[in-house]
Structure 1
Amino acid sequence: MGCLWVSLASAQEASPLPEEPLSPDLNLALPETSTFTQVVGEVTVLGAEKTRPETVQAYSRLDAGDALSPEELTRVERRLVATGLFQEVRVSTQPMAEGQVRVLLEVKDKASWVIAPTFSLSNSNIGGGVLYAESNLWGRSKKFVAGAQVSTAETGLFVGYLDPNLFGFPPLRLSLEGQLRSDRVEEFRLDASQDDPEVLRRTRLNSASVTGELAAMIAERVRVAAKYRLMLIDARPPSTDTEVVEPAFEPGPAQRDTSLRLMVGLDTRQNLHAVMEGINLEGSWELSSPSVWSDFRYQRAGVLYRHGIRFFQEHNLVLRAEASLGQDLPFHQELVAGAGSLRGFLYRQFRGDTRLSFTAEYHFPLFTIRSLSFRGVGFSDSGLLMWRSLPEDKKLRDITGRVVRGYLPEAQSGLDNATVAQGVGAGLRLYLRSVVLPLLGVDVAYGVNSGEFRFYLVAGVSPT
């Protein structure tokens, strides 16, 4: 991309943002004379108060000497909006000597940090906490989040850091995460038609983990990534007030679960304020074994499809499909579904080593009060979970012989014993254009299998 440079202070002092608000849509108005490819002579950033001008230009991917067409101007504007850093963006050109043009990148920053309470409510998980999030650290778009949460299912502390333009180069991303967590894991009777699912066993799992991921975008389309996770897991004996008291995970000394996950795929998604456009096709493979310093030995592979389609400027159809296959998954790594991932059912109601899922959501605008947008959503969630092949004694052991998964007595493997569930419903989303984080999400879902309505509320962002 060449060295990054910007004509800065003098241009900002001489050419402030216009008094009228910048156009919020992405239909870039181009000069009638801009019907041919031009050459960039200079890039000038205007209006940025916190975001450093070199960061704005880095995301634009423009530099002096680059060829510039009307289509590229539109792509530049979309890139800047998709960063999530700006309330408003305008990209325009001014003629210069020798047939070159000056590109003006006019932006208005969002509020980049927030300290806010969080709250979540569903039929099987109630809790809240506090969150600090900074989405534009040092004006370079680095992101930091720290949070604490207490709920009936999960309690813990979370710290995360994301560098979406490593070394000032947007195609490179680095993320680091750390968690201290205590889970109360409930296992339900395997029947999706229950209106009040019965809990057969409760297990407390305590863990501490650190995770690092390095990703690269090639030609703004192909994403490759590698993630390494180190976790210490400690299982407690199951609750004695349930029907099954044989441990799901044999108590004992804390064990080390480390894994290496590799991902590759096509990713053209862009979040344009409250609308997501583009497609993501991704394949992944995860390995945990002594070769990566783990006390466990398991594998997991998956294929993911996500697609955002925009209609009528502000309407959005979002599709998501996933197939995941696990081999020898310990209890704490099993595939689950319910509540957020399968609305109409309880949180983590279904479990297995194989999961197929499909979600379709249609988002549409309701009304806007100043910068506060109210949007509706209709959705359908479908899922299939199963165990492909269970051990004869229904006990899975790690490399030392310790039982890391004791299955329920009624658990059966094979497609004939798969759980198929579907939920449909509608909800409300609130967005504030001047801040990065969504404010509120409310969903009411109908479980087709059980005939029950369930309610979900999320205020703020859950740190987990």
Structure 2
Amino acid sequence: MSGLPSIARVLCILSLVNFIANSSLRAEVFADRIEAIQVVGNEKTKTSVVESLSHLEIDDEVTEKLLNDAKDRIKSSGLFEEVEVERLRSPNARRVIIRLRVKEKTSWFVAPSLQFSTNALTGGFVFGESNLLGHNKKALVFADYGPSARRFVLAYRDPAVWESDLTLTVDSIFRWDRMIEYQDRTEVRRVRLLDYGATILPGYRWSQKFVSSVGAYYRNVDEKLKSESQALNRVSLRKGYDVAIVVKFEYDDTTNYDGLFHGARTSLESTLSDNRFFSDFDYNKEEIRFSSGLVFMNREYNWQNHMSIQLGQNLPYYREYTSGGNNLRGYIDRQFRGDTKYSLSEEFYYPIHNFNRIIVRGVLFYDTNVIYFKDAQFSRDAWKNGMGGGLRFYLKGIVIPLIGFDAAWGAEDHTYATYLSVGATF
């Protein structure tokens, strides 16, 4: 008989567990679900575009997280100055109507472009239309001029061709570039590059977050040696046509507004160029990129990290990977070169002041790169580190900083470097 109390306790516990499980089940079965989605306040933007940006679907179970995520996604598109998500009770039981109330902002913009760092100075302008025909299609014209580089870029992004799951990316470029090689921070070679061409990348959107693309890359390339203080026979300079096939997969679950980056994005890209495509070059390259961000403490603080693995084989000179400058702060622009590159950048953003239209933030950062040529093999000298801090000035509703300034320490070279950018830079 002594075992009966224990059995009774077990039966009570099982009954309680069963009650909780059934209660949860009933809560899920009878949870509020979306009956309809309404969009108000949109004058230029098509209603279908706003609905697509929200990722909301009819019959979705309504939670605070679902509605907050929808608001963040719509706002991070950069098309709207204000976004509100309202929940309205439907006459039907356990059904709600979601109203997306938006206030559009001017979709076109003209901005200056200035980039300054050690041994690099360019200035120009960028003109963009972020909501072409009200379908969230984006077009951009960019040009800059300086002693180290002169570029002209046309770009077009269509996230839903004919409102379908097809996507399209088109880029065209004309570039005059002065490419300098260094050894121990001393110039040893100077090459003048002239190239122009285009990349066309049609794709298919398998879901709101995943896109795959297959396209073509074309460049007419002219590389000329201008000066050389010592013989560098690693790669010969060439003139010719570079034609390549590009395959890309991208998963994107991020939001980005007022410069706050949240979520995760991963991309895998492979490029193959050889004479089967009537190319004068024969090489391949694979790249994996991962970025993530976390916004916390009342959406005031932001931690971001960006990682990449880039591997190439028989790369032409103009497609070799470089480090230094904005992608490895504390060093000269493009100070290091290689066909193999691993990079990691950690950034912490914190608030300084919030004006009526301008947001000022500080940033602390750490950059680390490993870059080398496989023929030379890896050595400790291939690993470089930079760290420092800076300021960012944002216009509210604009993702790109209006002004950015960084001061950095290059750990291996024991040197300081400063970087200034105004408006959009590429």
TM-score normalised over the length of structure 1: 0.80
Identify if the C-alpha distance between structure 1 residues 172 and 363 changes in structure 2 by more than 3 Å, giving closer, same or farther.
farther
Give the equivalent residue in structure 1 for 2:261: 276
Aligned match for 1:422, one of 372, 385, 391: 385
Query: Which aligned pairs between 1:398-413 and structure 2 lie closer than 5 A?
Result: 413=376
Give the equivalent residue in structure 2 for 1:337: 323
Give the equivalent residue in structure 1 for 2:213: 225
Higher RCO (C-alpha under 8 Å, 6+ residues apart)? 1
Give the equivalent residue in structure 2 for 1:153: 148
| CA distance in 1: counterparts of 2:418 and 2:195, whole angstroms | 29
| CA distance in 2: counterparts of 1:434 and 1:74, whole angstroms | 17
Q: Hey, which of these two has a bigger chunk of strand by percent?
A: 2
Give the equivalent residue in structure 2 for 1:179: 173
Aligned match for 2:285, one of 300, 305, 319: 300
Would the aligned equivalents of 2:258 and 2:397 in 1 still touch at CA under 8 Å?
Answer: no
Give the equivalent residue in structure 2 for 1:23: none
SS in 2 for 1:294: coil
Q: Check if 1:37 corresponds to 2:37.
A: no
Identify if the C-alpha distance between structure 1 residues 213 and 436 changes in structure 2 by more than 3 Å, giving closer, same or farther.
same
Give the equivalent residue in structure 2 for 1:212: 200
Q: Check if 1:48 corresponds to 2:42.
A: yes
SS in 1 for 2:216: strand
| CA distance in 1: counterparts of 2:116 and 2:364, whole angstroms | 19
Query: Which aligned pairs between 1:190-205 and structure 2 lie closer than 5 A?
Result: 191=184, 197-205=185-193
| CA distance in 1: counterparts of 2:278 and 2:272, whole angstroms | 11
SS in 2 for 1:269: strand
Would the aligned equivalents of 1:281 and 1:305 in 2 still touch at CA under 8 Å?
Answer: yes
Would the aligned equivalents of 1:235 and 1:249 in 2 still touch at CA under 8 Å?
Answer: no
Would the aligned equivalents of 1:279 and 1:307 in 2 still touch at CA under 8 Å?
Answer: yes
Q: Which amino acid aligns with 2:389?
A: A
Identify if the C-alpha distance between structure 1 residues 451 and 223 changes in structure 2 by more than 3 Å, giving closer, same or farther.
same
Query: Which aligned pairs between 1:159-174 and structure 2 lie closer than 5 A?
Result: 159-169=154-164, 172-174=166-168
| CA distance in 2: counterparts of 1:216 and 1:419, whole angstroms | 38
Q: Check if 1:326 corresponds to 2:312.
A: yes
| CA distance in 1: counterparts of 2:106 and 2:230, whole angstroms | 50
| CA distance in 2: counterparts of 1:433 and 1:216, whole angstroms | 32
Q: Hey, which of these two has a bigger chunk of helix by percent?
A: 2
| CA distance in 1: counterparts of 2:305 and 2:215, whole angstroms | 25
Q: Which has the larger radius of gyration?
A: 2
Give the equivalent residue in structure 2 for 1:285: 270
Query: Which aligned pairs between 1:245-284 and structure 2 lie closer than 5 A?
Result: 254-284=239-269
Q: Check if 1:66 corresponds to 2:32.
A: no
Give the equivalent residue in structure 2 for 1:112: 107
| CA distance in 1: counterparts of 2:108 and 2:390, whole angstroms | 27
Q: CA deviation at 1:338?
A: 0.7
| CA distance in 2: counterparts of 1:49 and 1:103, whole angstroms | 19
Q: Which amino acid aligns with 2:110?
A: I
| CA distance in 1: counterparts of 2:43 and 2:263, whole angstroms | 30
Q: CA deviation at 1:109?
A: 1.8
| CA distance in 1: counterparts of 2:133 and 2:399, whole angstroms | 16
Percent identity of paired positions between Structure 1 and Structure 2: 28
Q: CA deviation at 1:128?
A: 0.1
Q: CA deviation at 1:247?
A: 8.4
Q: Which amino acid aligns with 2:225?
A: P
| CA distance in 2: counterparts of 1:61 and 1:249, whole angstroms | 49
Q: Which amino acid aligns with 1:335?
A: Y
SS in 1 for 2:44: coil
Identify if the C-alpha distance between structure 1 residues 52 and 298 changes in structure 2 by more than 3 Å, giving closer, same or farther.
same
Q: CA deviation at 1:248?
A: 7.9
Q: CA deviation at 1:187?
A: 0.6
SS in 2 for 1:343: coil
Would the aligned equivalents of 2:55 and 2:208 in 1 still touch at CA under 8 Å?
Answer: no
Question: Over aligned residues, Cα RMSD in angstroms?
Answer: 2.4
Would the aligned equivalents of 1:439 and 1:459 in 2 still touch at CA under 8 Å?
Answer: yes
| CA distance in 2: counterparts of 1:235 and 1:327, whole angstroms | 19
Aligned match for 1:347, one of 313, 321, 333: 333
Q: CA deviation at 1:215?
A: 3.8
Uncovered stretches (5+) of structure 1, i.e. residues with no partner? 1-32, 192-196, 390-412
Aligned match for 1:128, one of 123, 129, 135: 123
Question: Relative to structure 2, which stretch is displaced further, 179-188 or 110-119?
Answer: 110-119
Q: Size of the alignment, in residue pairs?
A: 397
Q: Which amino acid aligns with 1:235?
A: E
Q: Which amino acid aligns with 1:212?
A: I
SS in 2 for 1:167: helix
Would the aligned equivalents of 1:112 and 1:134 in 2 still touch at CA under 8 Å?
Answer: yes
Q: CA deviation at 1:68?
A: 3.9
Q: CA deviation at 1:127?
A: 1.5
TM-score normalised over the length of structure 2: 0.86
| CA distance in 1: counterparts of 2:66 and 2:405, whole angstroms | 38
Q: CA deviation at 1:308?
A: 0.8
Q: Which amino acid aligns with 1:378?
A: L
Identify if the C-alpha distance between structure 1 residues 41 and 221 changes in structure 2 by more than 3 Å, giving closer, same or farther.
closer
Aligned match for 1:234, one of 222, 225, 229: 222
